[in-house]
Amino acid sequence: LDLLDLRPASHRTPGLCRCMGPAPERNLRTVAGCSGSGGATDSSPCSGAVSESSCSFSGVELTEAMAMLEPEVWGTEPRFPKAGRFRPRLRYLWLRCLGGVFKVCSCRCRKPHDWEDPTVFARGTVQPHTMLAASGASPRVDGSAVAAPSVHEQDACNRLVLSGETWRFRFFEVLSPEQVPAQEFSGKDVKDEEWDEVSVPSNWQIQGYEAPIYTNMAYPFTGCPLRKPKLEPNPFGVYRRRFKLPLTFVQEKRQIRLILHGVSCACYCWLDGHLLGYHQDSGTPVEFDATKALEHGAAGTEHVLVVQVLKWCDGSFLEDQDTWWLNGIYRDVVLYSLPADNAIEDYRITTTVDPPFNDGADAEVSVEIAVRCRDACSVRCVVQDGTDAVAEGVQGLADDAQGHLCMMFGHGVKVFHVRMRMLRPKKWCPEQPKLYTLTMELRRGGSVLQTERWDFGVRDVRISNAVLQLNGTPLLVNGANRVEMHPIRGKALTDDDVLEDLIMMKRFNFNAVRTAHCPNKLSFYHFCDQLGLLVVDEANSECHGLAMLASVSYLQCDPAWRGAYLHRVEAMFGRDKNFTCIIGWSLGNESGFGSNWQACCDWLRACDTSRFVQFESGEAHGDATLIMGDGRHPASDIVCPMYADPERCMALAASETRPVIMCEYSHAMGNSNGALHLFYDVFHSKEYPTVQGGFIWDFVDQGLRAPRKPKPRSLEDYHLKGNFGYGGDFGSTSGAADKWFCCNGLVNTDRRPKPAMEECKYLMQPLTMSASLSELGVKTRVQHRTGRSLRGLMLRWELIDDCRVITLRGSQKLSDACDQDLELHCSGYCKGTGGLWVRVWTELEEPTNYAPKGHVVAQECVMLRAPAPAGASHQSPRACIGSRAPLATALPTGVASVKHQGDGDEVTIQGSSYTASIRGGLLVGLRDVAGREILSTGHGASLDHSFWRAGTDNDRGGADVFFPQLAGILPRSMLSFARQWTDVGLENLTSRVRDYSWQGEELTVDSDHGPERGRHFFRSSVRMSFGASSVTLRVKIVPNHRSGIVKLPCLPRIGLRFVLAPEFSRVSWLGRGPHECYPDRKASAPWCVHQRSVEDMHFPYMVPGECGGVADVHWVALQSGDGRGLLLEYSSDDAPPPEEGLLSGSPGARPAGMSGAQVSAARWTPSMAHAAAHDFELLPAGRHCSEEPVVLHVDTAHSGIGGTGGATDAVWRFHKQYLIDPRTEEWNYTVTLTPLGPKQLEVAAGE
DSSP class per residue in 989-1031: -EEEEEEEEEETTEEEEEEEEE-SSS--SEEEEEEEEEBSS-E
Q: Tell me what the mean pLDDT of segment 746-760 comes to.
A: 98
Give the residue from 657, 640, 768 showing the smallest Cα distance to 697: 640
CB 666 within 8 A of CB 1204: yes
Residue-level pLDDT at 778: 92
Question: How many percent of the chain have pLDDT more than 70?
Answer: 91
Sign of CA dihedral 958, 962, 964, 967: negative
- Position 4 pLDDT exceeds 50: no
Rounded to whole angstroms, the Cα distance separating 738 from 217 reads: 9
- Provide φ and ψ at 914, rounded to 5°: -160, 165
- Check: pTM over 0.75? Answer yes or no: yes
Burial class (CB in 10 A: 0-12, 13-18, 19+), 1105: buried
The dihedral formed by the CA atoms of 262, 266, 268 and 271, expressed in degrees to the nearest 10: -10
Q: Tell me what the mean pLDDT of segment 1074-1096 comes to.
A: 96
Residue 1083 three-state SS: coil
Give the residue from 133, 138, 130 showing the smallest Cα distance to 159: 133
Active site members: 590, 664
Model confidence at 825, in pLDDT bands (50, 70, 90)? confident
**Vertex 937, ends 932 and 938: CA angle to 5°?**
100
All residues at 6 or more sequence positions from 1042 whose CB lies less than 8 Å from its CB, including other chains: 1015
Residue type, 111: K
All residues at 6 or more sequence positions from 447 whose CB lies less than 8 Å from its CB, including other chains: none
* 75 or 1124, greater pLDDT: 1124
DSSP labels for 772-821? EE-SSEEEEEEEETTS---TTEEEEEEEEETT--EEEEEEEE--SSSEEE
Rounded to whole angstroms, the Cα distance separating 459 from 436 reads: 12
Rounded to whole angstroms, the Cα distance separating 1037 from 738 reads: 39
CA-to-CA separations, 205 to 165, 198, 325, in angstroms, rounded: 18, 11, 9
Rounded to whole angstroms, the Cα distance separating 240 from 186 reads: 8
* 862 or 28, greater pLDDT: 862
- Position 390 pLDDT exceeds 90: yes
CB 1152 within 8 A of CB 1138: yes
* 35 or 401, greater pLDDT: 401
Residue-level pLDDT at 26: 30
- Position 1140 pLDDT exceeds 80: yes
* 1119 or 225, greater pLDDT: 1119
Residues in the chain: 1247
- Position 500 pLDDT exceeds 50: yes
Helices (H) and strands (E) in the chain, counts: 18, 62
Q: Tell me what the mean pLDDT of segment 941-945 comes to.
A: 93
Lowest pLDDT segment from 321-330, 475-484, 846-855, 938-947 = 938-947
CB 1234 within 8 A of CB 891: yes
Half-sphere exposure of 248 (CA within 13 A, CB side): 14
Q: Tell me what the mean pLDDT of segment 1214-1228 comes to.
A: 95
Residue-level pLDDT at 52: 31
Rounded to whole angstroms, the Cα distance separating 676 from 756 reads: 9
Lowest pLDDT segment from 68-77, 112-121, 1237-1246 = 68-77
The one-character DSSP state at 81 is P
Give the residue from 274, 253, 218 showing the smallest Cα distance to 44: 274
The dihedral formed by the CA atoms of 55, 58, 60 and 61, expressed in degrees to the nearest 10: -50
What is the chain's alpha carbon radius of gyration, rounded to the nearest angstrom?
A: 33
The one-character DSSP state at 921 is T
Paired residues of 1138 in beta bridges: none
Rounded to whole angstroms, the Cα distance separating 621 from 625 reads: 9
The one-character DSSP state at 1220 is B
Q: β-strand 897-901 against 906-910: which pairing, if any?
A: antiparallel
Burial class (CB in 10 A: 0-12, 13-18, 19+), 1176: middle
Rounded to whole angstroms, the Cα distance separating 334 from 345 reads: 16
Burial class (CB in 10 A: 0-12, 13-18, 19+), 686: exposed
Residue-level pLDDT at 1128: 97
All residues at 6 or more sequence positions from 903 whose CB lies less than 8 Å from its CB, including other chains: none
Rounded to whole angstroms, the Cα distance separating 724 from 734 reads: 14
CB 870 within 8 A of CB 881: yes
Rounded to whole angstroms, the Cα distance separating 412 from 275 reads: 24
Residues 150-200 have pLDDT tens digits of: 667 777 888 999 999 899 999 999 999 999 999 999 999 999 999 999 999
Q: Cβ atoms within 10 A of the Cβ of 237, count?
A: 25
Residue-level pLDDT at 1211: 63
Rounded to whole angstroms, the Cα distance separating 373 from 1085 reads: 63
Lowest pLDDT segment from 613-622, 827-836, 915-924 = 827-836
Burial class (CB in 10 A: 0-12, 13-18, 19+), 71: exposed
Rounded to whole angstroms, the Cα distance separating 1134 from 1173 reads: 38
- Provide φ and ψ at 558, rounded to 5°: -105, 115
Model confidence at 960, in pLDDT bands (50, 70, 90)? confident
- Position 148 pLDDT exceeds 70: no
Residues 981-1016 have pLDDT tens digits of: 999 999 999 999 999 999 988 999 999 999 988 899
- Position 441 pLDDT exceeds 90: yes
Residue-level pLDDT at 826: 87
Residue-level pLDDT at 30: 33
Kindly give the interhelix angle for 676-683 and 646-655, rounded to the nearest 10 degrees. 20
CA-to-CA separations, 1237 to 1028, 1059, 1065, 1094, in angstroms, rounded: 14, 19, 15, 19
The dihedral formed by the CA atoms of 728, 317, 522 and 617, expressed in degrees to the nearest 10: 100
- Provide φ and ψ at 1174, rounded to 5°: -140, 155
Q: β-strand 612-614 against 582-586: which pairing, if any?
A: parallel
Model confidence at 222, in pLDDT bands (50, 70, 90)? confident
Give the residue from 200, 197, 196, 170 showing the smallest Cα distance to 185: 170
Residue type, 517: H
Q: Tell me what the mean pLDDT of segment 442-457 comes to.
A: 94
Q: Cβ atoms within 10 A of the Cβ of 655, count?
A: 11
Give the residue from 1224, 1178, 1220 showing the smallest Cα distance to 1202: 1220
Intra-chain end-to-end CA distance of the chain, in Å: 71
The one-character DSSP state at 133 is G
The one-character DSSP state at 1094 is H
Q: ω into residue 220 within 30 of 0, thus cis?
A: no
